[in-house]
A and B are shown apart, each in its own frame.
Chain A
């Protein structure tokens, strides 16, 4: 079956620093690569996504980069703020058109 791995599983940064989370996947046919943010007691929410025809996408302090050859994509958050503290999931589109969620990265931003 499809394999999705995220690293690191936990990440602690000081406010204002950058954070990077990496996601590797096994399905070479994947062509859609979203990142979801889940705050405590809530459902996941899409924060940024990228399709396979581009290598990078930016939205204010958040960016996603894609390396299809190496089968990994990364979430970059710059100038982190305490409200960025949450669990982040990558969820590449797998076979049958379903998202395969990683195990999550718990980001803690310390003021």
Chain B
């Protein structure tokens, strides 16, 4: 079966610019996650969707980050305006159940200059 697809793989922007990442989860997976992974650290959950509803966005910096999951399938994560500390890999994951195995995409690496 196809895995979790993410794009773009790499993005370089200057601070205060905006960027958007796209994720297509595994077919049939109702739960979708966006994680931020700073170099040398473990992934940190930004937002969790169940179908197209938000389950947990407690660690999403809502003044600059936004995410949506239209029709309960694809999702986009946007950052506007970007800061230097947003440089990280943004990982999308999906799971069949809320407490089941997470399947991760390869990530989108963001560099903010």
| A contacts, CB < 8 Å to B | 32, 34, 36, 41-46, 49, 89, 91, 93, 96-99, 101-104
Contact = CB atoms under 8 A, between A and B. Distances in A.
B32 interface: no
A36 B102 CA distance: 9
Interface of B: 4, 40-45, 48, 56, 91, 93, 98-99, 101-102, 104-107
A97 B91 CA distance: 19
Contact of A98 (B48, B91, B101, B107): B48
Considering the complex of A and B, which 10 residue pairs feature the smallest CB-CB distances, nearest first? Answer: A43-B104, A101-B42, A46-B101, A101-B43, A89-B42, A103-B42, A44-B104, A104-B42, A43-B91, A97-B99
Contacts, number: 44
Contacts of A41: 106
A41 B102 CA distance: 17
Contact of B43 (A44, A46, A97): A44
A38 to B, nearest CB: 8
Nearest to B101: A46
Contact of B41 (A42, A44, A103): A103
